[in-house]
Structure 1
Amino acid sequence: MRRVTILGLFVLVALTWGTTWLAMRIAVETIPPIFATGMRFMFAAPFLISIAYLRKTPILFPPGQRLFQLGITVFYFTIPFALMIYGEIYVSSGLASIIFANMPLAVLIASVLFLNMKTNIVQVAGLTMAIVALAGILYEETNANINAGSHWQGIIALILAVIIHAIVYAQCKKRCCDVSVITFNALPCFLAALILSTLGWLFESPQISNFSECSVLATIYLGAFAGVFGILCYFALQQKASAFQASLVFLIFPLIAVSLESYIYGYAISAHSMLLVIPLASGIFIALASKTFSLGGRRLDSSS
């Protein structure tokens, strides 16, 4: 029964994260990226705060960690998620998901730099293999794109989002910031919604009459479903499975994202890039399998 539960949670998380990237692409078709991200969090926050109220879970971090909670609002929610959806203006959802699948490697590097975590030769080999493969994919996809300059803008935005998230994970572990998944997400999500919605309204001047039904539904999906259900499912998966088993979802959700984009939009990454996905996934697998480490514990919600 436990194995069935783990498998079910794994599939749910992979499907949720895999569809998140397509939803972001649909959202920015008619909604400016910063305002869309604010809407996303505005849809998620009431659910998270309601769950906190019903479960009598505090929404504030413990005393001494509340300034850090503000930092999480800015550097975990506000900036990286805005960068993610901005990146999807210029980068396909499939490629965006492949870039973000490297989160385990970014966390590994951040742990080495900020936590003095020891590595072994196998981890380094896996890390090197994955980075070289990712560089090859980015080079291949950029050459195939007629707007190479804009394409790199999107790639850099997504890579920055991964790096910032990884640093936050390392800082959470360094500060022993062990709060519930609801506490970690509820209030920062609401504050980020206010910040991004305000900035988007002031600087992007969104025309609500131009928002398509599909874009609005996509932001609702990102907030109310992926932003809440995805968090809770991944947290439950981490409680029932090993850290290594839970981390394998990073190898699966990009395949779902690429397949969906190909089916719906008729666009897929090149055949050469698909071949490079094999050493990329192998490198990530080797790095994770050689020494299991936590990818942010109960705080990880990706994607997404």
Structure 2
Amino acid sequence: MSIYEPATAAETLSSRAIAHLISAALFLVVCFSWGTTWLGIKIVVESVPPLTASGLRFLIAFPLFLAFARLRGDPVLFPRRRLGFFAFVTLCYFSLPYYLLNYGELHVSSGLTALLFSCMPVMILVFSALLLRERIHLSRVLGITIGFASLVMILRSQGLGFSHDGFGAVLAILSAALMHALCYVVTKQRGAEISVITYNTLPIGLAGLLLFMAGLALERPDFSSISARSWGALAYLGLFASVGGFIVYFFLLKRMNPVMLSFVFILFPVFAVLVGAWYEGQPIAPDFAFYTTTLLAGFAVTKLPLERWSRR
């Protein structure tokens, strides 16, 4: 046995520990960037109309996505046989959902928006069962039931009943989550061969242009009245939250267990609620905290492969 073997083993353990620490740090970066996205949207729509705000965010992000695609050598254009799918992604993943999210945050808090959008992975399960004929196991049905029952209680605790003015905003945010979930499932059906960089780059650019032009025509924004804080939030959303969070997430996708990584969707609403409460200067009510914890715990159950573990 060589005298160098123990040192080599120690170095291997050390390099693995460093790799795990880097992955954990990047995981928190994604949670933080996606968790603060909702507060960024809230700050933007303080002085920028929702259509214009969505368009500007994507127009800021597009050049960086384009540069990243060129750097990686990924194609920017979708395959010709997927032009209909390209239009679907542009409209139903980027254009309409992000307008609805911006509109929703005009009327409800950033933390509640994040909680509503956290339903999206659960909606993916439902669409997968309907369109892909995938089974939904009993534990996931239980988690979905607990999660949505908690969501109803959260809305009641916030006074957002059917007759409330903010209920339309709640429906807008849930519709955005529904469209994102549908896009994920349709992508699994029809776009699995398309690079994630290709999937995002040109649709973001085109969606940004469409939203911005629609904003100019319908909202007639006064750019001189946009606050410096809103401009800063737009830069943050376009450069850090959209591009940085996306790149780090897909970097981790190749290095972390998919089940563990999927808990980003459970943790980022926690960041959003805490940061939103701090920004708005409002304490988190005990009933809101309880129902939020129950909602996220219910949705977390849908991500755990309990049936596989029980069989083992």
Q: Taking every aligned residue pair, what percent have the same amino acid on both sides?
A: 34
4+ long deviations beyond 3 Å: none
The alpha-carbon distance between structure 1 residues 255 and 63, as it changes in their structure 2 partners (threshold 3 A), is same
The question of whether the paired residues in 2 share the 8 Å contact of 1:141 and 1:270 is answered with no
1:101 aligned residue = 118
Match of 1:140 among 146, 157, 161: 157
The structural deviation recorded for 1:217 is 1.1
2:68 aligned residue = 51
1:76 aligned residue = 93
Match of 1:159 among 174, 180, 183: 174
The residue identity in structure 1 corresponding to 2:165 is S
Residues 139-194 of structure 1, C-alpha deviations (whole Å, 9 max, x = no match): 21125x9x962211111110000000000111001114332221111100000011
SS of equivalent residue, structure 1 residue 240 = coil
The question of whether the paired residues in 1 share the 8 Å contact of 2:55 and 2:210 is answered with yes
The question of whether the paired residues in 2 share the 8 Å contact of 1:33 and 1:86 is answered with yes
Match of 1:24 among 41, 50, 54: 41
2:191 and 2:215 map into 1 onto residues whose CA distance is 34
Q: Which runs of 5+ in 1 are unaligned?
A: 293-304
The question of whether the paired residues in 2 share the 8 Å contact of 1:65 and 1:177 is answered with no
Query: May I ask how many residue pairs the two structures share in their alignment?
Result: 290
SS of equivalent residue, structure 2 residue 106 = helix
TM, length-normalised to structure 1: 0.91
The structural deviation recorded for 1:112 is 0.9
TM, length-normalised to structure 2: 0.89
Residues 28-81 of structure 1, C-alpha deviations (whole Å, 9 max, x = no match): 000001000000000000110111122221011223112211210011000001
The residue identity in structure 1 corresponding to 2:196 is V
Match of 1:270 among 255, 276, 285: 285
The alpha-carbon distance between structure 1 residues 31 and 6, as it changes in their structure 2 partners (threshold 3 A), is same
The question of whether the paired residues in 1 share the 8 Å contact of 2:108 and 2:169 is answered with yes
2:258 aligned residue = 243
The question of whether the paired residues in 2 share the 8 Å contact of 1:79 and 1:161 is answered with yes
2:186 aligned residue = 171
2:201 and 2:23 map into 1 onto residues whose CA distance is 25
Query: Is 1:10–2:27 an aligned residue pair?
Result: yes
The structural deviation recorded for 1:250 is 1.5
Match of 2:247 among 232, 240, 245: 232
The question of whether the paired residues in 2 share the 8 Å contact of 1:90 and 1:154 is answered with yes
Query: Is 1:260–2:275 an aligned residue pair?
Result: yes
Query: Which has the larger Rg?
Result: 2
SS of equivalent residue, structure 1 residue 118 = coil
Query: Is 1:131–2:116 an aligned residue pair?
Result: no
The residue identity in structure 2 corresponding to 1:28 is V
Q: Which runs of 5+ in 2 are unaligned?
A: 1-17, 308-312
The structural deviation recorded for 1:268 is 4.6
SS of equivalent residue, structure 2 residue 73 = coil
The residue identity in structure 1 corresponding to 2:45 is V
1:164 and 1:151 map into 2 onto residues whose CA distance is 20
Match of 1:194 among 196, 209, 215: 209
SS of equivalent residue, structure 1 residue 215 = helix
1:289 aligned residue = 304
The question of whether the paired residues in 1 share the 8 Å contact of 2:42 and 2:105 is answered with yes
1:298 aligned residue = none
2:55 aligned residue = 38
2:227 aligned residue = 212
